[in-house]
Amino acid sequence: MRVLDRPLLRHLPRLADRLPFVALGDFPTPIDDLAPVMRDARLSAPAYVKRDDRSSTVYGGNKVRTLEVLFAEALEGGATHVVSTGAFGTNHGVATALHAPRVGLDASALLFPQPASPCALENFEVLAARELHAIPHWSALPPAMLAASLRARLRHERTYVMVPGGATPRGALGYVNGALELAEQVAAGEVPEPRTIVVGVGSTCTTAGLLVGVHVASLLGVGFRAPPSIVGVRVTPWPVTAKRRIVGLAVRAARLLAELAGEPRFAFDAATLGAALTVDGTQLGRGYGHATAAGRDALVRFAAVEGLVLDTTYSAKAAAGLLDAARRGAAAPLLFWSTKSTAPLPSAAPSAPWWTRPWVHHASRP
């Protein structure tokens, strides 16, 4: 797919000169039927999965869409170096590290600890094999981000420092594009029009973008007769995933889109967007990074879909949320947005700051 083939740019051509993209992903991502999963769970509702886990053979998942616009912004501003921020097992950090060199950017990561788990360790080892700066606690992130910018200036580099998950209005536009991609697949008859979309919500960027995107598609008359409901399943706690915060980011993204496209009708207000969003906190369990029984159960059931491998931190909890939504009679058809990459990770030699070694040892235990 050529860069200018992104659905957002085709439907809103004025964006072509105002919202640059770089080509990272293999789009459109396919849609699979979840009928075997639903039968196994003794549920009758029709359900499907949007395979953003297959968004790239380099490293897939939801962050590819976000990075397509954030890397473009970094390059447009003359940056030569990008810094990702997040927890030790951040998917955004791994996506940044593996995709940045493809567009001529150097990358480093600024990370804070999270509960130890094998899936978090896999990501951490990829990042530790590159330039990594570890901090002892998430509360130290703001000054550490400032320090990263200062280090860059001292090295005469132009550095683009991203917030966790790339959760900015521009970053969310990557998933406005994703929602329009789904709408086109609905219009083409590849999948029935979903009435409920279930997605894991962590940094809020993906959920906010989808929320705006389904409203844009509906307004344009592409795929959706009316915006489907978005169910954001918490994988990080309140207040990070507070509904007001998600809607706030969505409103800012909608305003940015309206400004760039010269289309005031896309500046949706908080009431309009909030009415389509439900935040499900029942799957969080003990908190971010802690596995749950429902998540493990979903992980086993969803393995019936070829190549779909969930993880206990993110996607398994969201999948458990989809099964629970179906049990509670959520409007069908349902669609699960798969956000965790299933591409194999590159091998990485163990290398990490000395004080992180107890965490690595704990995460390595079976």
Question: What three-state secondary structure class fits 277?
Answer: strand
One-letter identity of residue 343: A
Report the distance separating Cα 116 and Cα 363, nearest Å.
5
Give me the chain's average pLDDT, please: 92
Structure confidence at residue 252 (pLDDT):
98
- Token pair of 146, please? 């400032």
First-to-final CA distance of the chain = 41
Strands 277-280, 334-338: pairing is: unpaired
| The pLDDT of residue 129 | 85
The gap from C-alpha 288 to its chain's centroid, in whole angstroms, comes to: 15
Picking from 341, 366, 363, the residue whose alpha carbon sits closest to that of residue 128 is 363
Helix axes 315-327 and 293-302, enclosed angle (nearest 10) = 90
Residues 320 and 303: their CA atoms lie apart, in Å, by: 13
pLDDT score of 119 = 82
| The amino acid at 74 | A
Measured CA to CA, the distance from residue 284 to residue 320 in angstroms comes to 10
Given pLDDT bands bounded at 50, 70 and 90, which one contains residue 2?
A: very low
250-271 confidence digits (pLDDT tens)? 999 999 999 999 999 999 999 9
Tokens of 213: 């995107």
pLDDT digits (tens, 9 = 90+) for 288-322: 989 999 999 999 999 999 999 999 999 999 999 99
Which of 87, 129, 91 has its CA nearest to residue 108?
Answer: 129
Q: Which residues contact 328 (CB under 8 A, 6 or more apart)?
A: none
In the chain, the percentage of residues whose pLDDT exceeds 70 is 95
pLDDT band per the 50, 70, 90 thresholds, residue 365: low
* Residue 354: pLDDT over 70: no
User: Model confidence at 114, in pLDDT bands (50, 70, 90)?
Assistant: confident
pTM beyond cutoff 0.85: yes
98 confidence band (pLDDT: 50, 70, 90): very high
| Helix, coil or strand: residue 23 | coil
Domains of the chain, CATH where assigned: 3-62+167-338 (3.40.50.1100), 68-165 (3.40.50.1100)
Q: What pLDDT is recorded for position 251?
A: 98
Minimal CA–CA distance to 182: which of 142, 228, 114, 146?
228
CB-based contact 76:101 (threshold 8 Å): no
The DSSP bridge pattern shows strands 277-280 and 106-112 to be unpaired
Residue 1 confidence class, pLDDT cut points 50, 70, 90: very low
Place of tokens 């159960």: 297
Distance between CA atoms of residues 166 and 33, nearest Å: 30
